[in-house]
Amino acid sequence: MEIAYGHRVESVDDEYIHIAECAGKETVESGNAGSMLVDFFPTLQYLPIWFPGAGFKRKAAEVKKVVQKMFDMPFEMVRNAMASGTASPCFTASLLDEVLRQGSLSKEYEDDIKSAAGVLYGAATDTTVVILSTFILAMLLHPEVCQKAQAEIDRTVGTERLPDFDDREALPYLECVIREVFRWNCPVPLGIPHRTIQPDEYRGYNIPADSMVIANIWAMTRDEASYPQPEVFRPERFLEMDHQALQLLDPRNIAFGFGRRVCPGQQFADSSIWLAVAHLVATVNITKVTGKDGKPLTPAAEFVPGFVSHPKDFTCIITPRSGKVVQLVSDLRDMSA
């Protein structure tokens, strides 16, 4: 939110966070490409919205309203802040300033800026939340992995500061943990659909022009020939690969899509996720909740299917590793205020 709109979020009750969550929820629940009959019979798009069987059009209209609100609200906030001279440096303000210096803001440019900023924030937030929640679940189920990553950070970075990007190459096990999180639960299992612009052939299959093509990324990351025991969360599998195999089988190479529809924010998301995971490992312990019988409650490794796949709701206890890390986090927040 701060990068896209210059808005610092102070509370989970923030109105911009709320509308973004609503838009994300509605988009995810609207289904994957191919989940609606109109995807297979395009002429159905011409049905009136009130016509029986045109429920997909009514649903699309509802989702469009929520998504448009997510685009409009923070954009207007930035524009008003610029008019009053109080805007913080951000993606939206930078684009608006560039356009306004060249003349007036046309409706076309306004829509482009709204969409670019909205996708930057919405897509990056959704992917990051899914990966971080999957990471927390994995650490809850495999505390030995978390302890090993913590030991690597303590040994390499120390306990007097938090990890930063300069430490990334020196933390290979942490990198493998993140790779395994992407592989274990790919955030967008079927990716973004493509459409062929000309006839093609793949392994003897003729694919006509204008066909929808969907990449089964989930199946790729669960291919037993590439990842033995794919259901098992085991970061060490990547440590055991040689450099060539690691470059080929890093699940992040496919998790962000392919070709012209590859996620344009891939590098940004990768950096954000790495820093968030590194800070979590360095600062907190993730443990199971105790049941009424005094025994730890172990959540199931279950995920909600859909356009975006996230873990089913689970409970855990997150506590600071020491009083020192509490101070480090507090100091970091003060510096960024």
Residue pair 124/268 in contact (Cβ under 8 Å)? The answer is: yes
**Pick from 301, 205, 195, 187: which is nearest to 251 by CA?**
187
Distances (CA, A) of 191 to 32, 188, 255: 9, 5, 7
Cβ-contact 254, 217 below 8 angstroms: yes
Residues flagged as binding site for heme: 263
CA distances from 274 to 27, 66, 178, 235, 311 (A): 26, 30, 7, 15, 19
Give the annotated binding-site residues: 263
Phi and psi of 164, rounded to 5°? -135, 180
